[in-house]
Structure 1
Amino acid sequence: ALVLQEADVGFVFSAIAHPALTQEHLADGRMVCVAPKGMLNAALVAAGVVHLADLADTPVVRLDVRDPIGTVVNHACREAGVGLQTAITVQTYHAALALAHHGHAVAVVDTCTAASADRSKVEVLALAPHIAVPIKSLRTVNRPSSLLASAMTQCMRQAVAETLESVGLREAE
């Protein structure tokens, strides 16, 4: 839509470089573990941090491997030598969160998605290793940003910062 000039600004988690687009870094989110209450060991929940290896025997909702963040999570699993038990694969982060809400499996999602989790149904825990999720704005190179697009980008920067803070995670070791 941006390249076709159907929009002035876009917001993405992971952007592939495109010669017609410029990127502006807004914030860094991270991947987190959203687990149905009672599904994970109480000690893990109390620690507030889950390592990928801790999830090896737990049903996990996976993001599609064609999703850029799903690819990063799969790479982190390979690096850690961990094979996750995939219960179901989804294409959207909110579908993963919904499955966790209904007690079907643990979801590995970004902090912005986790911010909407119903904490009466799920635990939201830091995931180790840390998997960064950069949040960026995009606009076309050949057109200066309009005042409205600049204001919207600034509002988004503030909203993302507040959202990330609201998740309230402990730092993974």
Structure 2
Amino acid sequence: MSIYDYQVNTIRGEEISLSKYEGKVLLIVNTASKCGFTPQYTGLQSLYEKFKDQNFEVLGFPSNQFNEQEPGNSDDIEQFCQVNFGVTFPLFEKIDVKGKTTHPLFQYLSDEAPGILGLKAVKWNFTKFLVDSDGKVLERFAPSTAPDKIGIVIEDLLKNPRFVL
């Protein structure tokens, strides 16, 4: 399997293939609107604006699995992100990122880039996965890692696609 083999639903319910993003560096993030890390939307949007013209995308996947911190429906989530953080990067339908009902995409991401101590399960909102332009999952960043701390890695990867962390 490759990251490009997965199908996901946009925030508006349209099924798409991640092959749409082939050739781009991706930062895939599980998000939530009522989390202490929610202000990271600002940093994610900044990364998107800075690098979007250089084959980079942020992909946001809301999840309600951590203390029910994403209770809204797709319309609520989209409006919240746009009004409060000016989000213009792609958002997708709410999914499960851990447990028996984990979306296949997040199962793949977690298997390819385990967290601390080799643990695979996503532990909290705003876990970030960096994927290179060939679709290889390079790194998992903890929820506490601010998006601006990832910017230098993204910049290096965009300049040198064969860059290895």
Q: TM class, shorter-chain normalised?
A: under 0.3
- Using the size of structure 1 for normalisation, the TM-score is 0.27
- Structure number with bigger Rg: 1
Which one has a larger percent strand, Structure 1 or Structure 2? 1
TM-score w.r.t. length of structure 2: 0.27
Relative contact order: is structure 1 or structure 2 higher (C-alpha 8 Å, sep ≥ 6)? 1
